[in-house]
Chain A
Amino acid sequence: MAGGAGRCAARADGTGIQMAGGRPTGSAIEMEGAMRTLPSSGRPSGTGRLSRGPLFGRNYGLSPGSRLLPPRCQENADPQKVAFLLHKQWTLYSVSPLYKFSSADLKDYARMLGVFIAAEKQKGLAVDMNGELGVRVAMSGLPELRSSEQDPAAVLVQLSLRSSVSPKNSEEKLIWSGWFCCVAGDDLLEDLPENFTCLPLFLVNGAESYTAIVGSWFQKTFDCCFRRLAISPLNLTWMAAMWTGCKVENNKAAMELLFSVPHLPQPLNISYAIHPEDAKALWDTVQKTPGEITQEEVDVFMECLYSHFHRHFKIHLSATKLVEVSTGIASAHCDGIIKFLQSQYLIGVLMLLTELAISQIQ
């Protein structure tokens, strides 16, 4: 039909605006090359000031032909510091760059946010609840969660509820936490002027009402935009392949893929569980290129799994929609929900998620 390079019609699942690459490697590079010849300031002064933006430095959402293998970081792995991030469901958002955000002012921001939350919560109430049962805001930095010094430090926001039982030794219950991070965000960082902070990935665990309040405050104060980050089935297959290849000791968790068949009178969910060692063995035979993973290898891996399933059950899984992927390292859902299970591969997973967030921003 339409002749855009790299448009693929094979998969029946919705691949969204991201055009699934038929020949992604060549075309991505070609497009990037063509666009970089344009001068970044498109027009002479007098008019055309608006054209000073990072125009066309990217490839319009084409999936990359290859990605680097996720690093297994043991050097700065301090499991206790990041333990609180594991085994929780995090909802993903992409955030456009924050304007005039300074990590030195975190305490002040926390106070302002606390005031804002109190005001929002009291909107419907006539009673003045003067901090007896208030929400306390804590903002802190997480310098461990980055791949290099160029990345800005991650920022953690936690809301806890002060109970009114004992005012002096008030126990605080953590009710909501959200953190911004950026791991290997070079694509976005290199174009930005200084007063912008690039923290494109936002993960949140807690009630939606608090997410709305905190998000609105950030949007108003730092002129950013939050958007839910969905994970397309193509990216889920990448995650399945990449995480299967990661070596994990004592991995008891099976690799599980969840498929859904939409538009049926009774919705059908297919769960396909594979023994982790078998999956790893299969992946090892497929993955040949040292140090990186290519689209072809992922495709072959998934094809093997699908044909195995077809042989036994006569169902073509390639015609269904991949909805969730769970491995020993992490589990991801297409609605943009992730759960980390291993601290040593945390950075690798965050790197991939940061890349997805950046592609949604640009």
Chain B
Amino acid sequence: MQRRRSSKHSKQPLQVHHSNQTDLSTWRKGGTVGTEKSAQNHQSLSDQKNDDEQDSLEQALSYFVKSLPPEGFDVLLDVALSGKLADTVNTRLLKSLIPASAIPESSIVSSVSWFCVSKCSSNIQLLFLRWLITMFDFIDHKEGVHALYGIFFSFLNDEKLCPYICHVLFLLTRKENGESSFGMQPHLQALLSLYKLFCPELVSITLPQKMKTYFKNADGPWKAAISAVRQRNLAKSAVPQPLLLGTAQPRSRKRKWNTQLIVPASSANAQHFLVGGKMSRVDSYGANRAFPVEQLQTFPQLLQNIHRLEFPSQMGSVLTNPLLLHYMNCSKDESVYLRLYYWMGQTLQEECTWCVVDNNQYEEEFKGFLETVYKAECFLQEGFPSCEEFLYRSLPLWDGVSCRSQILQLITWIPLSTFSEMKSQLCDPLAQLFFTSSLYFKCSVLESLKELLQNWLNWHVVQLDSESDSQFSSLNTTLSGLVNGVAELINFVGRISTAALHLEKSHTFLLHFILDFYETVCDIYPKYKLPLLIMPPAGVFYPALLSMDSVNLNQLCYIMDFSSCLNFEFWVYKSEIEISAFSPHVRQR
């Protein structure tokens, strides 16, 4: 009896980790982990919670997105052939076992042992044989499989399985025959005579090559479909083709010349080399000559040359250069921001993978670009207006899949001032995607909205502290605008959380993220000095109160305790109103 390998040891589906361990990451507030890591945490928690079959099925289902790495075959073949799940599920599982590279021999051997035990139905056994025949060429080493020759031979008695067994044996025999031409001949003859006996479709057995044509080639289409899937997955475009948005433009195979996704290197402005005395930079003193930007390497250099530093000819290159970002922060020149605004806006619009046809093959590059923009925003602790406009334009068209974590990260830097006007452009598409997507997407959105709130509150604190604020006439207008904006966001999150908890049946993760958000909300007055107190709505409060796990209860108690310190009577009064509204049959005290 085969000992079943624990599925916990098999590797997670392929996830690319970008380690952002540069100096810029230290600017990120709170040092929160990215959404990828939190997704992994979700998965490990779910492993502990559910049972074995549920566990393996979920893991199995997570493989459906792409073709399989070699490690996956063990688990999935075990699941499919062990007969624990229904036939329909096993059929689908087997049909989707498409190798990304190769199939390890050990998985074949273990699955043949399951096959022998016949725990699964005969249909599944048949399907397994067909699968084995189709995938024969992908098995990496075949010595073990050859050793099972005798086992296959013994199945020849079964009428239903016979043609497929013959085919398998044929494949095995031919390969062996290729290696040692002499010893196998009598066996081959015996086998061929058996074929003649049991498989009447074979007419002539004179030449081995001809035999192959007499095997039913019913799995030809299956093979063709499999090769198409593999090709598609190798080309890394698992995203389905987007709808035809925008007029299709003819793009040649070569990447177009005006693409600026690769951020240009900092170089001095070529106009300085204008010959003919038009240069204004060259002084007889020489000391006033501009410091060449390529030589700027260290912070002390920046400080020494700050009076004669010039921006590079292409503003886009400042995004990857923290020293130039520092310099940009100090600069009062309007044209600097305008240049960056145009360059970033045009590049984002042009290269957006879901708005422009043909662009989805360059998704990795676009993701990298969005990451660069996000890191620069974190460094400067504010958002770029061109980025924000890009989000407003493209979020209504977003599918929720392309560049998901990057887009959700960029949302966290949308400034409050534009939020109130552009609320529908942001909230409506986000809500639509939110309700129709997976649990993990919901949690990611909630996390990014929490960070958005934190960024607004941090900005407000900085405003309070900064002394040089003389542009705005009265602080009240800013304050009321801020309070309104924050209240709108919190109410929005309250509404979508309530609905989401209904949809997900008060799932623990979701509740955790929602309560995380409300933890930030209850910090608003004590920590950020903004006069606003908003309680979690009834649709969030009661599921949290009645939840069965300690983590969420703990968080809820923290929130209640915190707010109760502020205004106990207010809270009690409000909750009484809510209890009576929620369950009118409960007698009020």
Q: Report A's interface with B, CB cutoff 8 A.
A: 2-4, 14, 16-17, 34-35, 38, 41-56, 60-61, 93, 96-97, 99-100, 105, 108, 112, 192-193, 195-196, 208, 211-212, 215-216, 219-221, 223-228, 230-233, 262, 334-336, 360-361
Contacts and interface: CB of A to CB of B under 8 A. Distances in A.
B158 interface: no
A212 B471 contact: no
Given A108-B274, A225-B342, A17 B245 contact: yes
Contacts of B264: 220
A335 B249 contact: yes
Nearest to B432: A2
7 closest cross-chain pairs (CB), A and B:
A16-B246, A212-B257, A225-B346, A53-B341, A96-B342, A230-B247, A46-B466
Contacts of B335: 99, 193, 195-196
Interface of B: 243-250, 252, 256-258, 260, 264, 267, 269-271, 273-276, 278, 313-315, 329, 331-332, 334-335, 337-343, 345-347, 349-350, 355, 380-386, 389, 392-394, 396-397, 415, 417-418, 421, 424-425, 428-429, 432, 459, 462-463, 466, 468-472
B359 to A, nearest CB: 12
Nearest to A191: B338
A193 B332 CA distance: 13
Contact of B428 (A2, A35, A46, A48): A2
Given A3-B428, A56-B421, A192-B338, 11 more contacts: A42-B417, A48-B415, A53-B337, A53-B385, A108-B276, A193-B334, A223-B313, A227-B346, A228-B249, A360-B349, A361-B346
A31 to B, nearest CB: 10
Contacts of A50: 337, 340, 380, 382-385
A230 B247 CA distance: 7
Given A34-B421, A35-B421, A14 B247 contact: yes
Contacts of B260: 219, 225
B382 A16 contact: no
Contact of B429 (A2, A45, A224, A231): A2
Contacts of B385: 50-51, 53, 55
A120 to B, nearest CB: 11
B415 A17 contact: no
Contact of B270 (A3, A220, A224, A225): A220
A215 B257 contact: yes
Contacts of A47: 381-382, 459, 462-463, 466
B26 to A, nearest CB: 19
A281 B260 CA distance: 48
A220 B432 contact: no
A114 to B, nearest CB: 13
B466 to A, nearest CB: 4
Contacts of B278: 105, 108
A150 B469 CA distance: 37
Contacts of B347: 225
A97 B417 contact: no
A47 to B, nearest CB: 6
A4 B424 CA distance: 8
A221 B315 CA distance: 11
A43 B276 CA distance: 43
A337 B395 CA distance: 30
Given A17-B393, A108-B278, A193-B335, A49 B247 contact: no
A265 B132 CA distance: 35
Contacts of B396: 2, 4
A230 B249 contact: yes
Contacts of B250: 335
A45 B249 contact: no
Contacts of B247: 14, 16, 230-233, 334-335
Given A193-B338, A221-B313, A262 B244 contact: yes
Contacts of B248: 14
A225 B350 contact: yes
29 contacts: A2-B432, A4-B424, A16-B246, A17-B393, A42-B417, A44-B466, A44-B469, A46-B462, A46-B466, A48-B415, A50-B384, A53-B338, A53-B385, A56-B421, A60-B393, A96-B346, A97-B342, A108-B278, A219-B314, A223-B314, A224-B342, A225-B258, A227-B258, A227-B349, A233-B247, A262-B244, A336-B249, A361-B342, A361-B345
